[in-house]
Every structure is written in structure tokens, then in C-alpha cells.
């Protein structure tokens, strides 16, 4: 009879004892898997929410206000710098943004990567009411403003069309198909946005070329939104490079919300992992206690094996093999129960979070449970190997 058969027979004979030993490993592994699954779902939700914030970068004209003084007498402020960005700087800004993303993410594909959405803001009066008309590139603006939803009508698909914010449409008594005048250029209302809760509700949006022509602002824009390929893209590096290489503009990385929210998730994960570590330690000591009890129960059996020629190394192997079986049981059960736990608790930790089955955590669950079980079995195995034949007969 080889060692594997001995281990199998002992496990079948002491099923309850093995299950008790596995229970501690199951609880520890279940906690780790549950935490990882919840953390993964939480991060996915936050990253998805960050997508709703729109651009990763905003580029505006580099304007400074200088205090003018004559001795101790203040003469007011003087604005220094242009209020607009020349359109011919857009290719330079795109080249910088795309090159930094390619460098950071090791992308070799050609073509545009970042979405660049220029804007031109103009104050005007429509039907006697003062408001802001925004010139946009329709396709790029729709990508950047992913939260936009058309309540009535359609999106922009022609140069003589506009879409109107929800509150602006109420104030101006506008509906789909109505016409408005933008500084003597007549355009038609193609659609009305659903209320967003932002300044968009009070504005009218028209194709950039139309607004430039209407207000004699050809070849200039007021600002530029850049949406990089992903939330992990090096937006700070892009902003720094734009500020150094493009004169007259200031690029601002929109990362404050992302850092604060992801920082909160990391702190919560650290706390949860600390609890998981404590649970694993409790499980480890539970396995040690169960295995020591098993050693005492099997003193006679161990003595007999030693009497028929079993070496200390073989005795240790028997307990290690048994620990591996306990670890496998604990890993499989811990993974299943941990995933179920995440499905139950995940929506409570991160409200509305969709928790998904993560197959990649199954090998991790097995590795953790087997490591804990084997580590817990080392001391009992060594103590079992030290049992002498004479000691076993005294226990009879």
C-alpha cells in the first residue's frame, strides 16, 4: 500500500475530522475571494462612472490677470493673453496626446486615438433672451458628452441645425422644427436635450463652422476637450507636454474625482484584506488544532507504521498529502461560497454594483487554501514523525 492509498483511507475513515479542518480554510478562502470579487466589481463601477464625466483633459487659452498698481493705489486688473485658441494648433495637440498614449500603452496601430472636441462659446440673444451658443464638432462632442440624451427630435446632422438645452427650450418656447436666428444666420431646431443638471441645459449647440461664420470667428475656438483612450491613460503627462510645447494654452488634467474615488476604494480594500488576513490566520490555527488532534488519535497507527519500516519523512508526507486534500476541498468550496457572498454583499457595499463571476480567482483560491493548509500541517506532521514505537504502545 503506497502513501496515497494510506491518506485516502485515513480521510475516508475520518471524514468529519477532515471537514472540520477544511472549514477553517473554506472560511478564509471564501473571505478572500469575496473581497476580491467585490473590489473588482466596485472598481469596474467607478471606472464606468468616470467615463460619464466626459473629458480627461481640458485645454483653455492661457490668460493671466495682472494687478495694476500705482504706488499703493490699485488701478484694477489687466488681462494678458488671447481669449481664443487658433485651430491650427489642434493637429499639434492631437499629435502630443496620441503619442503619449501610444508610448504609455505600447500601441502600434496608426490612426487617431484620443477624441478631441473643440468648442466656441459666444454670448448672444435669441428671441430677446441672452444665452450662450456653443459651436461644436457633432461627432466628437457626442463621444465626450456620453450622458447626453435627446428628449425630442434628432441629433445634429447638418450645418443649418441646432440642438437646444432643456431649460433654454422652455424659456425660448422652442420646439423641434422651429427656426432661430444666430446673428442673422437662420438655423432649424433639430432636437432638444433631456435635462442634464449642468450648464448644457441653458445653451444652444450648433456645428462649429456655423458658429464661427455667424460671429466672424473663423479658425479660432474657445476651448478644447480631450477624451483619452482609457481612464488609465497618462493624462497628467499629456497635459504637461501640451503646456510645454504649445504656446498660449493651458491644459488641465481632470483627475481629481478619479483619484479621490479610487483612493477611497483602495482604503476600503486594504481594510477588507486585513480582515481577510485575520480570517485566514484563524483558519490556519483551526487546521493546526484539528491536525494535532488527529496526531493524538493516530498515535497507535503511526507507531505501527514506524514499526514496519516507515521513515519520519514518509510520516510527514502523509500529513502533508492530507493537508493538500484539505486545501483543495477548502479552495473549491471557498471559491464557490466567496462568489456567492460577493453576489449578496456587493450591491450593499457599492450600491447598484453588478457582481460578475471571475474565473481567474479560482486558481488563486486553490493556491491560498493549499498554502494555508500545508503551512498549518507542518508542525503536527513534525510532531507525528517524532512519535516512537514505544510511545505508541503506551497509548494503547
pLDDT at 70: 43
pLDDT of residue 76: 47
Q: How is residue 297 written as a grid cell?
A: 488519535
Strands 161-164 and 223-227: unpaired
- Predicted confidence at residue 293, as pLDDT, reads 74
pLDDT tens per residue across span 126-150: 888 889 999 999 999 988 888 899 9
Rounded average pLDDT over 88-113: 84
Residues 6+ apart with CB under 8 A from 163: 150, 153, 155, 156, 189, 190, 191, 192, 193, 204, 205
Compute CA distances 314 → 232, 296, 373, whole Å: 52, 18, 18
Could you tell me which of 197, 186, 194 has the C-alpha nearest to residue 153? 194
Q: What is the pTM of this model?
A: 0.56
pLDDT of residue 75: 42
3-state secondary structure 242-304: HHHHCCCEEEEECCHHHHHHHHHHHHHHHHHHHHHHHHHHHHHHHHHHHHHHHHHHCHHHHHH
Q: Is the model's pLDDT at 119 over the cut of 90?
A: yes
In this predicted model, which residue has the larger pLDDT, 14 or 60? 60
Task: Answer yes or no: are the C-beta atoms of 373 and 333 closer than 8 Å.
Answer: no
Average model confidence (pLDDT) across the chain: 79
In angstroms, rounded to a whole number, what is the distance separating the alpha carbons of residues 329 and 299? Answer: 25
Winning range, highest mean pLDDT, from 26-30, 55-59, 84-88, 350-354? 84-88
* Residue 83 or 386, more confident: 83
Does residue 337 surpass a pLDDT of 70? yes
In this model, does residue 155 exceed pLDDT 90? yes
How many CB atoms are located within 10 Å of the residue 389 CB? 13
Q: pLDDT at residue 211 above 90?
A: yes
Distance CA 282, CA 24 (A): 7
Query: In 3D, which of 155, 148, 203, 157 has the Cα closest to residue 180?
Result: 203
Q: Are strands 129-136 and 161-164 parallel, antiparallel or unpaired?
A: unpaired
Show Cβ contacts of residue 216 under 8 Å, excluding neighbours closer than 6 positions.
none
In Å, the largest CA–CA distance within the chain is 110
Rounded to an integer, the average pLDDT of 65-72 is 46
Q: How far apart are CA 114 and CA 100, in angstroms?
A: 10
Asked if pLDDT for residue 102 goes beyond 60, the answer is yes
Domain boundaries, the chain: 3-49+260-394, 59-254
pLDDT score of 68: 43
Distance of alpha carbon 220 from alpha carbon 73, whole angstroms: 37
Mean pLDDT on 336-357: 78
Q: What is the mean pLDDT of residues 236-259?
A: 79
pLDDT tier at 204 (50, 70, 90 boundaries)?
A: very high
Dihedral pair phi/psi, residue 257, rounded to 5°:
-65, -45
User: Residue 15: which residues within 8 A CB-CB, separation 6 or more?
Assistant: none
Q: Which of these ranges, 101-105, 125-129, 334-338, has the smallest mean pLDDT?
A: 101-105
Q: Is pLDDT above 60 for 54? A: no
Residues 209-220 have a mean pLDDT of 93
Phi first, then psi, for residue 308 (nearest 5°) are -90, 10
pLDDT given for residue 11 in this prediction: 67
Model pLDDT for residues 304-313, shown as the tens digit of each residue: 776 767 777 8
Give the contacts of 223 (CB within 8 A, at least 6 positions apart): 58, 59, 60, 61, 85, 118, 119, 121
Count the neighbouring beta carbons within 10 Å of the beta carbon of residue 141: 24
* Of the listed ranges 123-127, 237-241, 255-259, 270-274, the one predicted with least confidence: 255-259
Contact 222, 120 (CB under 8 A): yes
Cα-based distances in Å from 296 to 165, 381, 392, 396: 79, 11, 10, 12
Q: In this model, does residue 161 exceed pLDDT 90?
A: yes
Q: How many degrees, rounded to 5, is the angle at CA 159 between CA 156 and CA 162? A: 45
pLDDT of residue 392: 54
Q: Where are the alpha helices (DSSP H) in 53-135?
A: 90-105
Amino acid at each position: 500500500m503506497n502513501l496515497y492509498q494510506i491518506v485516502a483511507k485515513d480521510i475516508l475513515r475520518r471524514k468529519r475530522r477532515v471537514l472540520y479542518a477544511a472549514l477553517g480554510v473554506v472560511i478564509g478562502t471564501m473571505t478572500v475571494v469575496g473581497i476580491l470579487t467585490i473590489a473588482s466589481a466596485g472598481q469596474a463601477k467607478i471606472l464606468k462612472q468616470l467615463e460619464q464625466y466626459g473629458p480627461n483633459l481640458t485645454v483653455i487659452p492661457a490668460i493671466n490677470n495682472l494687478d495694476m498698481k500705482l504706488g499703493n493705489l490699485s488701478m484694477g486688473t489687466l488681462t494678458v493673453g488671447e481669449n481664443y485658441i487658433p485651430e491650427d494648433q489642434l493637429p499639434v495637440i492631437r499629435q502630443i496626446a496620441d503619442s503619449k498614449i501610444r508610448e504609455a500603452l505600447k500601441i502600434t496601430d496608426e490612426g487617431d486615438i484620443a477624441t478631441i472636441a473643440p468648442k466656441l462659446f459666444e454670448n448672444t440673444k435669441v428671441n430677446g433672451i441672452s444665452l450662450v451658443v456653443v459651436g461644436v464638432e457633432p461627432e466628437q462632442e457626442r463621444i465626450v458628452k456620453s450622458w447626453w440624451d435627446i428628449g425630442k427630435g434628432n441629433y445634429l446632422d447638418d450645418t443649418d441645425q441646432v440642438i437646444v438645452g432643456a431649460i433654454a427650450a422652455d424659456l425660448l418656447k422652442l420646439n423641434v422644427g422651429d427656426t432661430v436666428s444666430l446673428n442673422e444666420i437662420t438655423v432649424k431646431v433639430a432636437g432638444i436635450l433631456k435635462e442634464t443638471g449642468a450648464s448644457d441645459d441653458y445653451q444652444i449647440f450648433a456645428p462649429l463652422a456655423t458658429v464661427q461664420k455667424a460671429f466672424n470667428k473663423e479658425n479660432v475656438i474657445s476651448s478644447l476637450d480631450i477624451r483619452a483612450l482609457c481612464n488609465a491613460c497618462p493624462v497628467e503627462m499629456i497635459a504637461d507636454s501640451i503646456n510645454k510645447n504649445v504656446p498660449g494654452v493651458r491644459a488641465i488634467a481632470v483627475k481629481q474625482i478619479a483619484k479621490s474615488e479610487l483612493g477611497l476604494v483602495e482604503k476600503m480594500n486594504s481594510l477588507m484584506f486585513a480582515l481577510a488576513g485575520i480570517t485566514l490566520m484563524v483558519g490556519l490555527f483551526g487546521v493546526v488544532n484539528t491536525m494535532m488532534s488527529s496526531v493524538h488519535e493516530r498515535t497507535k497507527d503511526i507507531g505501527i507504521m514506524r514499526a514496519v519500516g516507515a521513515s519520519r519523512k514518509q510520516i510527514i508526507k502523509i500529513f502533508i498529502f492530507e493537508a493538500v486534500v484539505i486545501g483543495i476541498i477548502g479552495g473549491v468550496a471557498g471559491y464557490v461560497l466567496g462568489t456567492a457572498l460577493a453576489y449578496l454583499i456587493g450591491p450593499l457595499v457599492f450600491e447598484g454594483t453588478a457582481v460578475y463571476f471571475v474565473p481567474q480567482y479560482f486558481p488563486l483560491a486553490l493556491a491560498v487554501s493549499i498554502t494555508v493548509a500545508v503551512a498549518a500541517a507542518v508542525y503536527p506532521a513534525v510532531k507525528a514523525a517524532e512519535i516512537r514505537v514505544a510511545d505508541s504502545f503506551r497509548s494503547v
